[in-house]
Amino acid sequence: MAQSSLQLRKFDELNGKTFLIGVGANKCATSWIFHYFRSLPEITVSPLKELHFFNAKVPPPLTEPMDQFAFKRLAYHVQQDGDVVDNLRNRPAFQASLDRV
């Protein structure tokens, strides 16, 4: 079997932990699952409910204008003073911007 030239990054803080990526279509309870997991103290979820990982692989002219605006809004909130995760979780302005998701 040929070796892949892909270099994977290792995150030591994930050693011994389960890393889960959920993929779901519209109206398939992903919001419920996200909020349920978020309510459990032993689980850490992403500060963003939907990461849109695969959208990053599509050239910008092909993404919807609302997605382009969402990326700009995310960049603004990430650049604010303080802890990035706390900013995304606890700032009402950012949380309100997720209502369309």
pTM over 0.85? The answer is no
> What single letter denotes the amino acid at residue 93?
A
How many CB atoms neighbour CB 47 within 10 A?
19
Cα radius of gyration rounded to whole Å, the chain: 16
- Measure the CA angle with vertex 74, ends 50 and 14; round to 5°: 55
User: What residues does each domain of the chain span?
Assistant: 12-100
Helices and strands in the chain, H and E counts: 4, 0
Taking only the tens place, the pLDDT of each residue in 5-45 is 667 777 788 888 888 888 877 778 888 898 999 999 988 88
Identify the residue whose tokens are 């802890």.
83
